Amino acid sequence: MINRLIIRCDNYSHGCIEGVKLEYYDVHEKQCDYLPLKCMNTGCEVTVLRKDMLAHEKECHFRLVVCRKGCGFPVAADQEQNHSCVAVLKSNMEGMEAMFNKKYKSLSESFSKLQQKVESLQTKLHLHQSSAASRDSANDDRSSYSTGAATPVPDSYGEDEHNSQRTPDSFESP
């Protein structure tokens, strides 16, 4: 029942004469044409009613317009006559150069760190390869001792020493 009460808008002093049901008051307040709003253009301190904001933005001295002298940069409408394209372009180039130098320095530092890592990994790889080559060489030396012809192989058939010197003719066929 209380939500059906009709109340006056807070913007009555600015010209709003609407009586609003309490249940719809929040919606009305957000959309009220008589709500005072501060201009959104940087540097402008004017407060206008919502219903007049569009007209104000079209004539606001602080609104941004595109430079018609040639640089195409945005400039406040009241500064367009005094605007120097050369000064703006020079300032813009200096800003871009500073940003480039900062990025270049950062990339150079990153590159140096990566280069150090690559050199470290190459050193580790070289040490690993040298170590592996040494192991392979040592294994080759050991294998020549174990498979060399100078090492006598025991008779696996248990024959005596003079029988192990037999020639192929002296073997009997089964």
In this structure, is residue 162 part of a structural domain?
Answer: no
Domain region containing 117: 85-133
94 and 127 inside one domain: yes
Domains contained in the chain, number: 3
Same domain assignment for residues 22 and 50:
no
> Is 160's pLDDT higher than 60?
no
pLDDT band at 154 (very low <50, low <70, confident <90, very high): low
Examine the domain organization and report whether 70 and 57 are in the same domain: yes
3-class DSSP string for 66-123 = ECCCCCCCEEEHHHCCCCCHHHHHHHHHHHHHHHHHHHHHHHHHHHHHHHHHHHHHHH
Give a yes or no: residue 5 inside a domain. Answer: yes
- Taking the C-alpha atoms of residue 128 and residue 130, their distance in angstroms, rounded to an integer, is 5
Residues 30 and 63 in one domain: no
Residue 46 located in a structural domain:
yes
Specify whether 79 is located in the same domain as 113: no
**Residues 68-124: pLDDT tens digits?**
888 888 999 988 888 888 888 898 899 999 999 999 999 999 999 999 999 999 999
Same domain, 1 and 17: yes
* Structural domain contains residue 169: no
| CA–CA dist 66, 165 (Å, integer) | 111
Residue tagged 């990025």 (tokens): 103
- The pLDDT assigned to 174 comes to 47
77 and 99 together in one domain: no
pLDDT of residue 4: 80
pTM for this entry: 0.47
State the average pLDDT over residues 130-147. 72
What pLDDT is attached to residue 144? 59
For residue 97, tell me if it sits in a domain.
yes
Do 50 and 66 have their domain in common?
Answer: yes
Is residue 151 one of the residues assigned to a domain?
Answer: no
The average pLDDT across 22-30 equals: 91
Structure confidence at residue 137 (pLDDT) = 77
Asked if pLDDT for residue 40 goes beyond 80, the answer is yes
Mean pLDDT (the chain, rounded): 84
**Max mean pLDDT range (2-11, 58-67, 141-150):** 58-67
78 and 91 part of one domain: no
pLDDT recorded at residue 104: 95
Write down the pLDDT at residue 83.
87
Is residue 44 domain-resident?
Answer: yes
Q: Report pLDDT for 169.
A: 54
* CATH number, domain with residue 59: 3.30.40.10
Let me know if residue 174 belongs to a domain.
no
Q: Which helix (H) or strand (E) holds 49?
A: strand 47-49
